[in-house]
């Protein structure tokens, strides 16, 4: 059994990006933890949802992650486009989470994603990944160096992914999970078509029906062995 830690920015990013991979890992007995940074408080197009959408999206996120087989999850509740997403406070929270969950592999957004929040999270996670393995900031826990960091894509395709995960057997679960994000499918109805198109394209690259692309970080996690 291996441990995987997924850092997603908004409720639904984890499903759009690596929902099939999460379901596959959970099905195979691996431990998957998801941390979601924002409440998605700007993800609505009806005035009557003002002040309510964050609670709706948290309920949807909770249901989705249980459906996909995620063992642990945290919702940090930052606002969308929150300036703190690329702050020292966030890096320290990420370091503490990595040391707490002790993942073998970390997954997060690609740094060249079109969304500002996604880029901010990608940069801070990369920083926290190697800092978590250093003998620093003792109050955040004992050092832990995750073996690998991988970036996933939302709708901005990664030019040259490291490899494609075959999600042919779990793509149906990914779609069902996405349907549980009812508030977002009403606001962004194109998501299902875009998701299927991208996953079919990625699958075609490895001779499979559906796939999800991952890019391995070229950054060295730590010059010291900590485990």
Digit-coded pLDDT (tens) for 153-179: 998 999 999 999 999 999 999 999 999
Domain ranges of the chain: 3-216
CATH number of 3-216: 3.40.50.10320
> Residue 220: its pLDDT value, please?
59
- φ/ψ of residue 108, rounded to 5: -155, -175
Digit-coded pLDDT (tens) for 6-63: 999 999 999 999 999 999 999 999 999 999 999 999 898 888 888 999 999 999 999 9
Digit-coded pLDDT (tens) for 87-122: 999 999 999 999 999 999 999 999 999 999 999 999
């Amino acid at each position: 059994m291996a441990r995987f830690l997924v850092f997603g920015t908004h409720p639904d990013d984890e499903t759009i990006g690596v929902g099939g991979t999460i379901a596959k890992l959970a099905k195979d007995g691996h431990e998957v933890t998801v941390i979601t940074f924002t409440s998605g408080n700007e993800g609505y197009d009806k005035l009557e949802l003002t002040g309510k959408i964050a609670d709706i999206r948290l309920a949807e996120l909770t249901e989705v992650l249980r459906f996909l087989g995620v063992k642990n999850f945290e919702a940090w509740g930052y606002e969308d486009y929150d300036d703190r997403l690329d702050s020292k406070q966030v890096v320290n929270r990420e370091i503490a989470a990595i040391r707490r969950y002790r993942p073998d592999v970390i997954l997060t957004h690609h740094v060249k994603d079109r969304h500002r929040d996604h880029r901010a999270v990608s940069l801070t996670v990369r920083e926290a990944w190697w800092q978590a393995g250093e003998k620093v900031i003792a109050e955040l826990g004992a050092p832990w160096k995750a073996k690998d960091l991988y970036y996933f894509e939302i709708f901005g395709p990664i030019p040259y992914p490291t490899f494609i995960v075959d999600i042919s057997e779990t793509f149906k679960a990914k779609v069902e999970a996405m349907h549980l994000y009812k508030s977002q499918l009403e606001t962004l109805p194109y998501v299902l078509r875009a998701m299927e198109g991208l996953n079919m394209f990625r699958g075609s690259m490895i001779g499979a029906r559906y796939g999800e692309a991952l890019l391995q970080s070229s950054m060295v996690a730590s010059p010291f062995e900590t485990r």
